Structure 1
């Protein structure tokens, strides 16, 4: 009987830290034992949206109990800048001008965190206030600049196609932002070392960038700074560039005072001082024929970017990349407008601009369906990409399209047609409680659009007892990356998963790594780890063949052990023999995604290695007197290729869907007329609760799907694509609202569709 491997590839295996998570034993940055004499930092934030600083009296701060030092911009030894794009537009600490309410002005260094926090409130700062703008529409009206160069994607003769279309509709849509609301907030612990070196423990998705930024701020080389992160309590993109601030301040203080310094803001200050998902103002015109087929799309995507560029350029680019979603536009022009505003600089968030693009495509489908009196699903099917024939607005051929099969399966499994008929019959009764149902797809390109980020490294050791230690550049934020990559390595040697341990991500093991973002963590790091494992396996095969005098073809790694000729030996025995023969049992691995390229100036290329697909059906009920609603049922079918770990992938799909629903329904960011973010705590910012989940929630993986490209074991990315499937809830709400006008008018709901917005949409239609 063949031995079954524990934790084999393509099988369900628990997250490597699952038991630690649920028992509270998992160590995060704040759980690291503090060295003796550790000091604590806290940030002093501005209390005005835009101004010139006329004076800053910190004498009371310096005199407060326990305060050791107060650091201001002039105390930064290197460069007062943490701009990830090198534009020198994002100071660590503001100097003479304030760019948004909540901008860090100084850092208090004290013996305890409480002392530092209390002292920070004692500053007396005088400002000469300046006019400020928080809204993206107002920024455009007042001629505010772009924070970075806009992008245009164009294909076909848009003017002729639009002019010749039998039907044309113009519209506008506001799409709200979203706070990351990670369970673990930002935190950094900096420990000085010899000769000016510094070790920083940071809750970050991008250790290499934090390394470079800390070195930049300290005026040192990257080799002087080591960044380590074992795990994060959530990231969602909010820990890609935003940790730079906290790590840099802690490192400056630690280097100055020659002792460890920890910085952890309160949740309120974390939310006020760090960037969020970009909110968008989208305008569009669509031309289409009598059958609902799209002939031309002209769209403008303006985003509230904040006071600095951060990642707004790539985010707004990516919105355009996904503004077609699953649909072919014969003629198209899409333009981004990354607008400067007097608010915190917005940043990466799960989907990275993609959700804002996809929801625009789905709004266009809605417009056509209500105009033509058609089922939205029929319009969607009429406009799907033809596999291998149609090209995107960025001139990439869609060559692996499985959307028709996905739609067929979920339409049948969810009983969509019968349920839609029942919804129509229910609403025809004209009662207060109205229902809606929608089936929405997602086509999501996978790869960093900045081509150079599509690389990864790994370092693998096999110890002489047969155990393995793996380090790679990916970071673990709860998604199960470490488990999946360990499964890949174990599979290469046909050993149980327990033999492989993945260590904390650290810049002194694997250099120049990319962020764990763009849904690429497993794709890149899994391949790099496999490369290291295959190097070692080939080395062991060569050794075994020579040592036991057999052909290399007669050496095979199996679940029973290593087969050498006609004998099966234990894995440990072979490793021990290799060690005794002085065979190197350590190897590095490297991977770069092939075949991708992108010319931004021309708006053409192949920015994505492949596409991931999915679809969801959601049914809702709304109270037309109050605007309140419930999600009655959601069915999700998602393509992850040949899943490395179905349990982890299904968990990602579930979580992404719920987070997407939160973005579109309950999570609302609101700045008052003074430019102050008022939704800055759990008491004022509502993420989805268990009671907000669909009453019936069915999630399935398309287990028949396989990646067309040679991805890691033919799997596909899963982190971001399912996020967009929450749009099915938004569209179902729209149908329920449209029912009060017999589905003859598109309700044009803005997001998030809070009960207030639903009620206002109902009232507009009734009028």
Structure 2
């Protein structure tokens, strides 16, 4: 599609930009929304369960599955040797992630076999009957252990460099060094992983999968079955949450279900329980950040050198691009005159970590904000003043180049922060917090205003494409299908709004149908916040094609110029005549006008040379800012988030209600990551935080007591995206950094703000208390 053909100012305001309810909201509330486990099971459906390793790193000496195979109800037990194609489900093509381990296990909980039985309960009970003999090998489950054992990596790291950082960091008037640990995070989607496979004729198989990437499931299933992609059809109507955890991690369950279904000629379903899901699937990467920064007495940064080491797990999965994106966002909203950033994707004997909302960006940004915080405490200044002194400048200012040499052309962070500073009354509230702390012996308060600048696009250029299929039927009803998946974020609703607006019909006339690889091929994952950008434009392109045919038909039939054919709400004006939309479409059908189109879109202007560390990986940036105020108990470390004010940039919102919901949800999820959600492995490499009883996500009662969220209504995307909107899925996640920094200020108050507390994340009550005691010590 030619970019020049799209100009949102030519679109009459209709469904697009309107506040409309999520298409499935009423179904979610009433329980009528159909998920895979709600689909009526075909007669004779079998159920699968995983047989998991109980060693972190070991050779498999022998496997005795006799009691497993003879357990009542068991039909078949799958091992690695039973895979018809290739025993590998790696998303990168590195062949480093076996579907089922055969001779070596590399994390506690790695699947070794799978049981297929007549009931789910029988399959799970049988899976515990295996007798496996191991030869234990040395293992390490964290970043420190990996570094102590030579720092092995699962994939190549990356370096971003500009200027002369090694020289300039020492030439700066001031210099500091530090280290920060940033924890991982469990996705904790409400619907666990699940796959249902139904065999078809010849080599055909249909798979229903809870996945953000149907085309990858299609590829992996074909890979393990030794079948072409055209034999595999993957269906996804909705997921009960994804957050990145269903971008690659669904491969395991879909592949096993497909193998068993083809072998046994019966439908097969895999649905792990919460413990198994948490043990056997990847999480957000945790990082160890070492930084060295040179700055002046005004707080202006001269040079930054930082290394981002990550716990990646036993295989590469998406660790390469995740650690890349961490470096892309290590600058946060700040210009570094001289900079060198390196990543270190370390191999550990844990489950392979994977995509998670923000995809490494949050970890990079937290590191960047820690540098600002360190400078502020070193100079005795308000961190907000240090932030403002280091913000990127306007295009052409000489302060507009990122560490990866992309020019920041759309910078509005100063406007966002200034508006929020005023509307939240930040300065007066900070003075009040300092005054309160002077007289309060136990409860201490903190407040922080932090910015967000987040790049939008897949850094793998090829993924920045999308397709859509649109049919207009004789009665004027419209069928919409595209490659994006719905996980509760409202993508289906937004793309339907685009289509309804293009044809100027009521949204109820647009039928949203399940994503399927049989209608739109070669789709990218619904990830990188790009779902609406890509699929909205693809749907618009399909509508444009159909409308051009309709305009040509009407101009010829009624002898008018094309300019006299105008789509009005639920009708079409042709010259002086107005025709109801359904009647107009029926006439076009009888005139043999093609009323179907496949739309396509690829993001323009982006390119990336990873080896050189240069390019334009992002089409544009999304911006935002948050002010959070907290209270901590210095005797227990417990805390409350008293108030949060957010101003976020989504360009011209496609649906303000959905976008505000995304901002609120992202903030609370980010707050959980930085405060309560802690992953912990014991000395045997076992994940001990593997259930709601041991892993604490935020509750409704944990949200800010006062929670003010606004969209920057004056903002508009400088790039011609769909409706001049901006992505909203990931950027607001980082707004929660304001909570971490507010907690830091509250802790710092016990030593009169003379020292940066250097809080690691998550800042649990235990860590808050230890930091308080550390600062109290002489």
Please indicate the TM-score interval, normalised by the length of the shorter structure.
over 0.9
* SS of residue in 1 equivalent to 2:202: helix
The answer for the alignment partner of 1:738 in structure 2 is 748
Contact 1:297 1:333 in 2 (8 A): yes
From 324, 332, 339, the counterpart of 2:339: 332
Residue 56 of structure 2 is aligned to residue 46 of structure 1: no
The answer for the alignment partner of 2:225 in structure 1 is 218
Cα distance, 1:54 vs structure 2: 0.9
Number of the residue aligned with 1:514: 524
Q: Secondary structure at the match of 1:194?
A: coil
Whether contact under 8 Å (2:506, 2:570) holds in the other structure is: no
3-state SS of paired residue (1:757): helix
Deviations 1:409-436 (A, max 9, x none): 1001111001000000011125110000
CA deviations 1:577-607 (Å, max 9, x no partner) are 0111111110000000000000000000000
- Distance between the aligned counterparts of 1:742 and 1:591, measured in 2? 55
2:202 is matched with which residue? 195
Q: Report the equivalent of 1:636.
A: 646
1:446 aligns with 2:456: yes
Alignment of 1:656-667 (within 5 A): 656-667=666-677
Q: Secondary structure at the match of 2:241?
A: coil
Determine the structure 2 residue equivalent to 1:651.
661
Within-5 A mapping of 1:247-646: 247-389=254-396, 390-559=400-569, 561-646=571-656
Cα shift at 1:550? 1.4
Q: Deviations over 1:115-135 (max 9, x none)?
A: 101111111111111111001
Cα deviation 1:237-268 (Å, max 9, x = unaligned): 00000000000000000000011000000100
**How far 1:160 moved relative to its partner?**
2.0
Kindly indicate whether the alpha-carbon contact (under 8 Å) linking 2:13 and 2:501 is maintained by their aligned counterparts in 1. Answer: no
Query: What secondary structure, in the 3-state scheme, does the structure 2 residue paired with 1:448 have?
Result: coil
State the Cα distance separating 1:6 from its structure 2 match: 11
Counterpart in the other structure of 1:185: 192
Instruction: Give, in whole Å, the separation in 1 of the partners of 2:633 and 2:539.
Output: 53
Structure 1 unaligned blocks of 5 or more: none
Give the TM-score normalised by the residue count of structure 1.
0.99
Q: Which runs of 5+ in 2 are unaligned?
A: 1-10
What corresponds to 2:4 in structure 1? Answer: none
Q: Distance in 1 between matches of 2:763 and 2:34?
A: 38
Q: Is the 8 A contact 1:210 1:227 kept in 2?
A: yes
Aligned to 2:5: none
- Runs of 4+ aligned structure 1 residues displaced above 6 Å come to 4-7
What is the total number of aligned residue pairs between the two structures?
764
Question: 1 CA distance for matches of 2:472 and 2:449?
Answer: 49
Structure 2 equivalent of residue 80 of structure 1 = 87
Q: Which range is displaced more, 656-665 or 560-569?
A: 560-569
Q: Distance in 2 between matches of 1:5 and 1:504?
A: 28
Separation (CA, whole Å) in 2 of partners of 1:656 and 1:7: 28
Q: Deviation per CA, 1:716-765, whole angstroms, max 9, x where unpaired?
A: 00000000000000000000000011111000000000000000111111
For 1:367 and 1:6, the matched residues in 2 are separated by: 48
* Equivalent pair of 2:329/2:454 in contact (CA under 8 Å): yes
CA distance in 1, matches of 2:570, 2:329: 47
Match of 1:166 in 2: 173
User: Quick check: 1:149 aligned with 2:156?
Assistant: yes
State the TM-score, normalized to the length of structure 2.
0.98
Q: Aligned-pair distance for 1:7?
A: 6.8
Q: Secondary structure at the match of 1:149?
A: coil
Q: What secondary structure, in the 3-state scheme, does the structure 2 residue paired with 1:512 have?
A: coil
Distance 2:634 2:474 in 1: 70
Cα separation, partners in 2 of 1:275 and 1:624, compared to 1, 3 Å: same
Which residue does 2:3 correspond to in 1? none
Partner Cα separation in structure 2 for residue 554 and residue 203 of structure 1: 47
Deviation of 1:141 (Å): 1.7
Preserved contact between residue 162 and residue 339 of structure 2 (Cα < 8 Å): yes
Among 732, 742, 764, the residue aligned to 2:774: 764
SS of alignment partner, residue 616 of structure 1? strand
Kept in 1: contact 2:314–2:347 (CA 8 A): yes
CA distance in 2, matches of 1:525, 1:244: 23
Other structure's SS at 1:195 match: coil
Per-residue deviation at 1:163?
1.4
Match of 1:236 in 2: 243
Report the CA distance between 1:144 and its aligned residue.
3.7
> Distance between the aligned counterparts of 2:265 and 2:394, measured in 1?
61
* CA displacement, residues 22-51 of structure 1 (integer Å, 9 cap, x when unaligned): 000000011111111111111110111110
CA contact (8 A) 1:80 1:217 kept: yes
